[in-house]
Amino acid sequence: MLNKYISISEYTYDLPEDRIAKFPLDNRDQSKLLCFSGGEVTEDRFSSLPRHIPGNSILFFNNTKVIHARLRFKKQTGANIEIFCLQPLDPADYQLAFSEKGSCTWLCMVGNLKKWKNEILSMEVSIHGESIRLSAKKVSSDERGVSISFSWDNSISFAEIIHEAGIIPIPPYLNRDPEAIDQYRYQTVYSRHDGSVAAPTAGLHFTPEILEAIAGRGIQSSEITLHVGAGTFQPVKHQNVFDHRMHSEHVTVPRKVIHTLSQTDRKLIATGTTTLRTLESLYWLAVKSLIDNTPAGKLEQWEYEELPDKYSPHEVFAALNELLINDRKEHFQAETRIMITPGYNFRLVEGLITNFHQPGSTLLLLIAAFIGENWKKVYQYALSRDFRFLSYGDSSILWRTDH
């Protein structure tokens, strides 16, 4: 049972501005690698990662791809309106939304919203040498954001539109505009599925050569998809972390991965907090599916507290796999709002590859849940040894303290 009061002030630290990496290193795999195991902290290079992973492991990756989510329109009055696409509403399926031709509706954040009345905004986009007019119209708004209907020439997909018209949304704490290098360095080399507005940054260090070396050691790899939302940058503003409202993110997991989870006894290692959240959410979604005898579609923020944890991973994933087979589905899709805080009982993940996170963030709370009070030792070590922090910063491999 979780402690229902955790002060966010206990999960902060002094992060000097000059420790935030504003740009990536020239080579992805030359970042530092902090290694935490058995209470001890050591240092290496990320290029040496394969030898820090046991051969009896499965390494999980989040293969989401960052979209050019920021669309900048200019009104006839000269006012700038920035539309930040968060998630598709109509159609709600990411793959369908990006393949739509002619129109679609998205949930968005809007900059300078007060200066946008009810008029339709438009811009000219050049695609394949042809000028395409993209229009945006407000539909409705609520506490989540603004629903906006986009329309354009129906011979072009929305994926092509947003790629050409939009700007890649690098993190706000970089305090700079996107540059050419961000187009490919703010993506992992294994990114496949459009949908994120922030990169799963733990994966930015991987190169094809490292992936080959990992496979060469007999380490299995699996891919899942969690489309990272803008909420990943939202600070915990309440003193009690349990008053924080967690954002919802869309998860897609191939059925073959669920089948693997129903049988494997290998160590599970997550590349990034997004992958860890997906795997831990997946366990509880599988529990819900087992209880209700139907694939669960949503996991709320603290719902796992109310669910029985008497089931083994093999048991719940075997049941979910069978349900998907019966429904003739090759992928499991759901939404998760899970918030992992100190006191959480991890069900699947034993190792975590991750960067260094912002003070007072939900991501730092997750790290503290994973390695306990050792997070202070880890972060003090990184600060004292000139590690680079946040999205373009250095990396670490952490092993759970209860193992």
Residue 118 pLDDT greater than 90, yes or no: no
DSSP 8-state assignment for residue 101: B
How far is Cα 262 from Cα 275, in angstroms, rounded to an integer? 18
Q: How confident is the model at residue 3 (pLDDT cuts 50, 70, 90)?
A: low
How far is Cα 347 from Cα 268, in angstroms, rounded to an integer? 10
Secondary structure in 3-state letters for 242-309: HHCCCCCEEEEEEHHHHHHHCCCCCEEEEECHHHHHHHHHHHHHHHHHHHHCCCCCEECCCHHHHCCC
Residue 403 pLDDT greater than 60, yes or no: no
- Domains in the chain, please, with CATH? 8-65+185-399 (3.40.1780.10), 68-167 (no CATH)
Task: Give this prediction's pTM.
Answer: 0.94
Please name the residues in contact with 226: beta carbons below 8 A apart, sequence gap of 6 or more: 62, 64, 200, 249, 250, 251, 252, 274, 275, 277, 278, 336
Output the pLDDT for position 128: 84
Residue type, 229: G
Question: Can you say how many angstroms the Cα of residue 310 is from the centroid of all Cα atoms in its chain?
Answer: 28
Cβ proximity of 56 and 269 under 8 Å: no
User: If you compute the radius of gyration of the chain from its CA atoms, what whole number of angstroms results?
Assistant: 21
Residue 95 pLDDT greater than 60, yes or no: yes
Question: Exposed, middle or buried by CB within 10 Å (0-12, 13-18, 19+), for 7?
Answer: exposed
Output the pLDDT for position 2: 61
Output the pLDDT for position 229: 87
* pLDDT per residue as tens digits for the range 211-256: 999 999 999 999 999 999 887 778 899 999 999 999 889 999 999 9
* pLDDT per residue as tens digits for the range 332-359: 999 999 999 999 999 999 999 999 999 9
Structure tokens at 24: 């990536």
Residue 169 pLDDT greater than 90, yes or no: yes
Output the pLDDT for position 78: 86
Output the pLDDT for position 53: 96
Output the pLDDT for position 55: 92
Residue type, 292: D
Mean pLDDT lowest among 60-74, 127-141, 279-293: 127-141
Q: How confident is the model at residue 144 (pLDDT cuts 50, 70, 90)?
A: confident
Mean pLDDT lowest among 11-20, 124-133, 328-337: 124-133
Q: What average pLDDT score do residues 33-51 get?
A: 97
Residue type, 355: N
